[in-house]
Structures are given as structure tokens and as C-alpha cells.
């Protein structure tokens, strides 16, 4: 959703679906985003889902497929970045592609193939405690090579700094030696300018959403898209408002604490939540008398110690699936009692809630800041969603965003 929001903010009409079958419902739009929950499912399932999405796009005779993943390259030795890239290389017929997770404005940078969060290697950062994809190796060439049989190399910063033409020559030479995947160094925004210019005609490109912002000016300069359109304002949505937090990132915990200063928050202890139906029922009973007074929050989030205890009881994937099942079914119950505004913290949580609510197509609003996407369903009885990365967003995001959903004009 963040990727689509960046394109919308750049004045580009962008379709957004969760079901590839709906790609054909759009007319002549410059871009379509298919959002799927594939980060931590078994690699074979991620490949199968991605194939359906890619074939739906290729049927439209598209110029390029862009495969988006997190700025922190969240993955395991089994995938799913490598296996999905392997599939997309095959389908598009690309000879090689690049991997650009960097987001310099957020201090997510890559140098000598090593991923940094600020001044720390990712392996020294809180990401080493991620409950599903702990990042303990900062060398992305090694990380990706463990996920694929394709040969992985590095496009070093000296070559990126030399410009798109020089970088292109270096890649062509390396490809002649059998290298198919290139981790790209990127420290500054100007590096992303270079990488966008280098890759704008490639059949396949991969990376974090940030580099997407650097394509529209190139497309316009080359006459591939029309004049800039003013980003549309999303429709106002009333009804109850809730926060659903599944992320255990430090920033989400800070945002919850800030929201709780003025709004009630129910913290759901996974160790005592084995009965999903009973837990959801209790949470709904707690919410009913409070919702008429304003937004409320629900969280399965916890500190690393609490997460470890839940994983010891249910297993790593089991704990995550339990949290997603609780928040997803709770979202459905809340919708049935009049909630129409949802702020969701965490990428996996966002995917689970969209799936539970049965949302297949959305109108996305313009970019609201790093890691944040907002959208409204196109139904007669609309639902407004803000889906945010667990690691990002201002500390007061929860209450502010729920207010903006009532009156989107105040965000301008």
C-alpha cells in the first residue's frame, strides 16, 4: 500500500488489489499494485501466489514488474525473496535483476553489500529479535545467496556513484561471468536516482518501496506517462475507530503508549489466549461500552521477553498465527458492530486483517509518510484503512490518522 501511495502522490493513477483476478477490472491505468501476504509463508506457497499475480500483470503486456519487499530485507534462509525472484526471472525472461532495499531518508542503507540501520549493522539492531525473520547476517549477498541457486554479486557504491551508464556496463560484464542477481549499494537519495535510471527499462526490478518514488520523473521525461495528476482526496468515513497492533517493533510499542494516554487499549496476552473464539468474544465485550466514547485499541504486541515466552509455548509460527487469527477475527466482529476506521500496525497483521475482512480492491490515498499507506474500500458502506509498518511512523500516528479518516481534507 505504501508503494501504491507513493505513485498516487506522484500524480499517477494506480490500481490496488489483493486478488489477481481483479487486475482486469482496471482500464488503461499506468500502474497496478497486487498486494499479497507472502513474506513468511512456505516458499512454495509464496511462489505459487506470486505466479498468479505476475501472470495477471503480464497478460496486460506490462513494461516492468517490480517486486517489493521490506527495507530490512526481512527473510529467512529458505526465502521468500530468493524463490520469488527466481520465479519472476523465469516468467519475465529477464537476464538479470537488482535488489535495492535501501531507504536513505530512513537511514536504511547498504554499503559493501552490508545492510545498516542508522550506524548499526542490521545484525546489531533490534531486527535481530524479529519474531519471524530475525536478521542476524548483515551481508545481503550472503543472505540472498542462501535463498537461490542463481549467482549473487554486488554493485558496489563506487560504481553506483559513477552513474547509470558506468553501472550498466559493470553489470553487463558481471552478467557475462554468470552473475544474475546484484545487491546494490545505496547510501544517498542520489544513489536511488542512479539506480532508477539504470533499471527503468528492465523487465524485472526488485527493492523496497523507496526507489519507486524515483521512477515517475523518468517515465514522464520519456513520454511513457502523461502529465502529473493532482492526487485525489479519499472519501470521509465515519463509524467507530480502532487500532489493531500486532507488531512487536519498538516504534509500535511507543505508538501504543502514546495512544493509551487518551484512549483505552486492551492488551491481549497470547499465553492466555489459546481459545481464539473466547478471546475475541471477551475483547468485543470489552470494546462495546467504550466505542461510543471514541477510538479504542487492541494489541497482541509485546516486549522481546513476552514474545519469547509465547514462541516457546506455541512455536515461532504458531505464536504469529495465533495473534493474526485473534486480530483478524476481531476486526470482522468489530465491523459488525459499526467500526469502519481501522489503523493496523505491522505488515503481517495488516495482511491478515485485510484477508479476514474480505477486502479485494481499494482506492489508495497519497503517500502519508514512511511505512504508511491509507485507503478506502469502494463499497457503498466504506471502510477506511491505514496499514503501517511496525517500525515506522510518528509516535502520535494512531489517534491522528483515525481523526483524518473522518475528514481527509485536514491532512492537506
**pLDDT per residue as tens digits for the range 224-236:** 988 777 777 899 9
Q: Pinpoint the alpha helices (H) of 234-344.
A: 250-260, 276-291, 304-314, 316-336
Strands 120-121 and 114-117: antiparallel
Mean pLDDT of all residues belonging to the chain: 93
Cα–Cα distance between 228 and 234 in angstroms, integer? Answer: 18
Mean pLDDT of 250-262: 94
Domain ranges of the chain: 2-221, 240-411
**pLDDT exceeding 70 applies to what percent of the chain?**
99
Q: What is the model's pTM?
A: 0.89
Tell me what pLDDT residue 300 has: 92
Confidence grade of residue 143 (pLDDT, cut at 50, 70, 90)? very high
Q: For residue range 108-135, what is the model confidence (pLDDT) as tens digits? A: 999 999 999 999 999 999 888 887 888 9
How do residues 328-344 score in pLDDT, each as one tens digit?
Answer: 999 999 999 999 999 99
Burial tier of 381 (Cβ tally within 10 Å: 0-12, 13-18, 19+): exposed
Residue partners of 274: CB distance under 8 A and separation at least 6: 322
CATH top class, domain 2-221? alpha beta
C-alpha 345/C-alpha 399 separation (Å) is 13
Structure confidence by residue, pLDDT tens digits, 173-202? 999 999 999 999 999 999 999 999 999 999
What CATH architecture is 240-411?
3-Layer(aba) Sandwich (3.40)
Neighbour order of strands in the sheet with 339-345: 265-267, 296-299, 240-245, 339-345, 384-388, 372-377, 362-364
β pairing state of 108-111 and 240-245: unpaired
Q: Can you state the percent helix, strand and coil of the chain, rounding each to 5?
A: 45, 20, 35
Same CATH topology for 2-221 and 240-411: the answer is no
Three-state SS at 170: helix
Q: Give the mean pLDDT of 142-163.
A: 98
Amino acid at each position: 500500500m505504501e508503494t501504491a501511495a507513493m505513485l498516487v502522490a506522484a500524480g499517477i493513477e494506480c490500481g490496488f488489489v489483493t486478488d489477481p483476478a481483479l487486475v482486469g477490472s482496471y482500464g488503461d491505468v499506468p500502474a497496478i499494485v497486487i498486494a499479497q501476504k507472502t513474506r513468511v509463508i512456505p516458499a512454495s506457497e509464496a511462489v505459487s501466489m506470486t505466479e498468479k499475480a505476475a501472470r495477471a500483470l503480464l497478460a496486460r503486456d506490462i513494461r516492468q514488474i517490480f517486486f517489493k519487499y521490506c527495507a530490512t530485507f526481512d527473510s529467512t534462509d529458505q526465502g521468500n525473496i530468493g524463490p520469488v525472484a527466481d520465479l519472476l526471472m523465469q516468467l519475465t525472461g529477464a537476464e538479470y535483476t537488482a535488489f535495492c532495499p535501501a531507504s536513505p531518508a530512513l537511514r536504511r542503507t547498504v554499503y559493501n553489500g552490508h545492510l545498516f540501520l542508522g550506524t548499526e549493522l542490521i545484525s546489531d539492531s533490534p531486527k535481530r529479535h524479529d519474531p519471524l525473520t530475525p536478521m542476524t547476517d548483515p551481508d545481503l549477498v550472503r543472505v540472498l545467496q542462501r535463498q537461490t541457486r542463481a549467482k549473487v554479486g554486488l554493485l558496489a557504491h563506487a560504481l553506483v556513484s559513477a552513474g547509470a551508464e558506468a553501472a550498466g556496463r559493470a553489470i553487463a560484464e558481471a552478467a557475462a561471468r554468470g552473475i544474475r542477481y546484484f545487491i546494490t549499494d545505496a547510501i544517498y537519495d542520489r544513489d536511488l536516482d542512479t539506480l532508477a535510471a539504470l533499471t527503468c527499462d528492465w523487465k524485472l526490478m526488485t527493492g523496497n518501496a523507496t526507489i519507486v518514488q524515483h521512477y515517475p520523473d523518468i517515465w514522464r521525461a520519456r513520454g511513457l506517462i502523461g502529465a502529473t495528476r493532482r492526487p485525489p482526496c479519499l472519501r470521509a468515513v465515519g463509524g467507530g475507530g480502532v487500532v489493531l497492533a500486532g507488531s512487536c517493533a519498538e516504534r509500535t510499542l511507543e505508538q501504543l503508549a502514546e495512544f493509551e494516554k487518551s484512549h483505552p487499549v486492551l492488551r491481549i496476552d497470547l499465553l492466555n489466549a489459546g481459545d481464539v473464539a473466547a478471546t475475541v468474544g471477551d475483547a468485543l465485550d470489552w470494546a462495546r461500552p467504550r466505542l461510543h466514547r471514541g477510538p479504542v485499541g487492541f494489541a497482541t504486541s509485546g516486549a522481546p521477553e513476552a514474545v519469547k515466552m509465547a514462541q516457546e509455548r506455541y512455536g515461532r509460527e504458531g505464536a504469529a498465527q495465533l495473534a493474526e487469527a485473534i486480530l483478524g477475527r476481531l476486526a470482522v466482529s468489530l465491523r459488525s458492530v459499526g467500526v469502519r476506521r481501522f489503523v493496523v500496525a505491522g505488515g503481517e497483521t495488516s495482511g491478515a486483517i485485510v484477508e479476514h475482512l474480505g477486502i479485494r480492491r481499494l482506492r489508495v490515498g497519497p503517500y502519508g509518510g514512511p511505512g504508511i499507506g491509507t485507503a478506502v474500500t469502494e463499497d457503498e458502506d466504506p471502510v477506511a484503512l491505514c496499514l503501517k509498518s511496525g517500525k515506522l511512523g510518528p509516535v502520535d500516528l494512531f489517534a491522528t490518522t483515525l481523526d483524518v479518516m473522518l475528514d481527509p481534507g485536514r491532512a492537506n
